[in-house]
Chains A and B, each alone.
Chain A
Amino acid sequence: MSDFETVAATEDQSARRGVSGEPGTPDRAGRPGRSRSLAGDAWRDLRRNPVFWLSLLLVLLVAAMAVAPGLFTANDPRDCVLSRQHAGPSGGAIFGYDFQGCDTFARAVYGARASLLVGAFSAVITGVIALVVGMLAGFFGGWVDAVLSRVIDIVLGIPLLLAAIVLLKRVSTSGETVRLFAVILVLALLGWTTAARVVRSSVITAREQDYVAAARMLGAGDGRIMWRHILPNALAPAIVVLTIALGSFIAAEATLSFLGIGLKAPTISWGIDIDAGRVHMRESATPLIVPSVFLALTVLAFIMLGDAVRDAFDPKLR
């Protein structure tokens, strides 16, 4: 990038900061003709980024697997016959069969659902907690901020895996659905802190803007300012953090299931299958490798997607 362009970009950026209104509302206040919105700039960057397209493709593929696993495999993952133990590829089972005689590929495909459910729900709950806490702490400041920030510090100081072990031991005998929601709740309760800090700092920045002062002068109450004026500005960074968190929630779910305290059979989860495949790796390694690759690619896809979007939205990196 030439010096001229750098200068132009900085100027453009400062101009944007001065007049930026709520995203979504048309902004006609004397902007120079060529300038774009932050989101527009980010989109222009993302469109040319192959990492973004690759990770988006992977995410959509896994989402499709979670919604309609029947499209990817005709076999039933729970149709296990011991006589096929560690048998080679045949009859649609392109990666052969595992120790129990189940179709390795079908199990990996059906495993996407539990992972994405846990990841998505944990991310949504995390997002709600983070937005509420970050908004209250950032907007009101003072003792509210002091108390909430200490709470964030304490929760951040709890090691996730250890706490999840203790919490999940309480539901050791519950059914399939209860377990799924227990895992989601535990991950969300322990994982909201980073997002809350991000929201808090962007709320503090937004609070000082002219348009907030203008809204207040027009007689808007705290609730309206928070909801209509500050929230839209705090949302973008929060969504980026949550995309990355979604990937790590999926990894955490698989880790807990691997340890035997997360999801349990008959739920199909990559973590459970990796653990089962590990035990018999000397006889046949494909039941270990297939779910491992699925899990690693899914987690990677979400992390790369979040990374790419964050880079695009961060003007400092341009």
Chain B
Amino acid sequence: MPEGIFCNKKPINTEAELKALLSDTRGTKYYEEMLSLEVDREKLWATIQKTCKSRTQTWLDVCARCGLCADSCFLYLVNDCKPEQVPSYKIQSTLGEMVRRKGDVDNAFMRHAMEVAWSQCTCCNRCAMYCPHGIDMGVMMGYTRGLLYSQGFVPWELKIGAGMHRVYRAQMDVTTEDWVETCEWMAEEQQDDWPGLEIPVDKEDADIMYTCNAREPKHYPEDLAEAAILFHIAGENWTVPSEGWEQTSLSMFAGDWEACKLQVENVYAAIDRLKPKRVIGTECGHAHRATVIEGPYWAGRPDGQPPAPYIHYVQWVAEALRTGKLKIDPAKRIKQTVTYQDSCNYIRNWGLAETAREILTYLVEPGYLVEMTPNKEHNYCCGGGGGFNGIGKFRPQRNKALLTKRDQILATGAKLVIAPCHNCWDAIRDLEEEYHIHIDWSFLKPLLLKMVIIPDHLKPQDEEGDEE
């Protein structure tokens, strides 16, 4: 059987296909079919010839096999320094072999490569900082994922995730109606506490267009409410688009480049339509990576920039605190040991280490911040990045990977971890559930709401006009 019903080389393009694949609980049938999925060797080699250009080829050829990348990789360290976890080995034994064999690889090879690409690398790019030649194995693993996806060798959840983007332009089945209703519902819910609060949909020429992660409207709508309240307090002129509000890209994790392009173009179309002065994304790392850092290239924008300045939530928070749009009540600052989780996607890969620290100077009482080691650009992945969190098949490997972050957090003695990234937040929640180290973890929004000074004119008034 060269192609399965569920496991095949065809991307999911319709709701019916999506539902069918979802009905195959945990991908049981999907992975069974994968055992006999045929490799289209000619197509694989043709794709490699077309896309594996001098940068990648040189990275593969010039690798001095010095092993300096080994200790840079948290998965190597946490897996008892197993030699098979050395980044150079991981990429040479997968992509390197594919290229050397001119695509002449079999089913077992591809299944093994899939395991390496999605359970032995979170594409955190830390190795790139430690290789004398500047070889970025995370970038290459991302490329390898694309080759594997095009041949149908992709974890079940990510095939679904990429399909979601293709069908709904969101990582979950949130339609335009669902989204707009959630915005209205959240605005209404807040009226007692925040009279006049709005979540303006499709307002043109606003100062800010806000984009988020589909999980927020789907599972944590209060996150959207919190964003709205903070914009309200800061007096921002903002809006959300009815279409193009989803900033994430599970298709990036899946290696479905076509879906990546479709997804990001949807957001860029909203920017072109509403013409905001700038766009602010939610507290998510990979969403920022997908829409702001890599997205312009998928969409074919030669300047490498989105259609309008597009900043991460931490940049807006830092700016709002700096300019006094948000004022923190000093009495309410955090007075317990706290640490900060640097998200690989916008710290190492977008340079916001100091911006995040600036926020902490406002939120944390001096002396209570204890940094992890290593931190900032040199941080370790949370343990669940690059799609690792969401893949059931690799859950045991993921749980092992969480030990790095667990031990880093334990070493700080912190009781609270500030994690302005959905992936990091999930990983830290899971490590608490798995290993019970008695910590709390939080996005910035709920912390800010606990500490921010509410301007008098925004406080609810009773009938006599007095503040309640």
Indicate, yes or no, whether A interacts with B: no
